[in-house]
Amino acid sequence: MTDGTAVAGPDGALRCPWALSTEDYVAYHDEEWGRPVHGDDALFERLSLEAFQSGLSWITILRRRTGFRAAFADFKIASVATFTDEDRTRLLADAGIIRNRAKIDATIANARVLADWPPGDLDTLIWSHAPDAATRPIPQTLSDIPAVTDESTALSKALKKRGLRFVGPTTAYALMQACGLVNDHLQTCVSRMP
């Protein structure tokens, strides 16, 4: 059991302890988590996957990401916005994704809302809630990392006000972590970016 500080992996490099439980996590941690993500479709994918993760382990979503991309037209907002009742039925029968009716409906509904936004608006809205990195303490242990912040609560409210669903403050903070709005790699983690 770890005390929540960075742990040496098989290659000797220190990483956030959660990253060492599976090879899938190591790759995700080292190559994606906490790196800046821009673009409406890319952010729609991350937002949708974080919503699907709610109540589940992230590894469950990560291992099905290829299936999610295939099922949801690579998360192209314009494509998902045109999904029909037949698509919904197809998604509910697709074993390659999480077959949760409410989350599927929210993803389609969110795409329809976002399809009416001017290009770049989702990117602008999300990134406008990034806190000033200079004012954030660098986490030393996992216990230093919050599940919700004032910024994630504000982002959640802004997304809901614009008509999006399944975007609570915890989901918003997970999105902020995954997309590089905050850097929650531990101080001694090899992936900590300056």
The answer to whether 81 touches 110, Cβ cutoff 8 Å, is no
**Alpha-carbon span 172 to 131, nearest angstrom:** 13
CA neighbor of 116 nearest in space, from 175, 163, 167, 51? 163
Exposure on the CB side of residue 24, measured as CA atoms within 13 A: 10
- The length of the chain in residues reads 194
Name the DSSP class of 134.
Answer: G
- Which residues are known catalytic residues? 28, 50, 58
Q: What is the signed CA dihedral for 172, 21, 52, 4, rounded to 10 degrees?
A: -30
Q: What 3-state class would DSSP assign to 95? A: coil
Distance (Å, rounded) from C-alpha 191 to C-alpha 13?
9
User: Which residues have C-beta within 8 Å of that of residue 97, sequence separation ≥ 6?
Assistant: 52, 64, 67, 68, 71, 72, 91
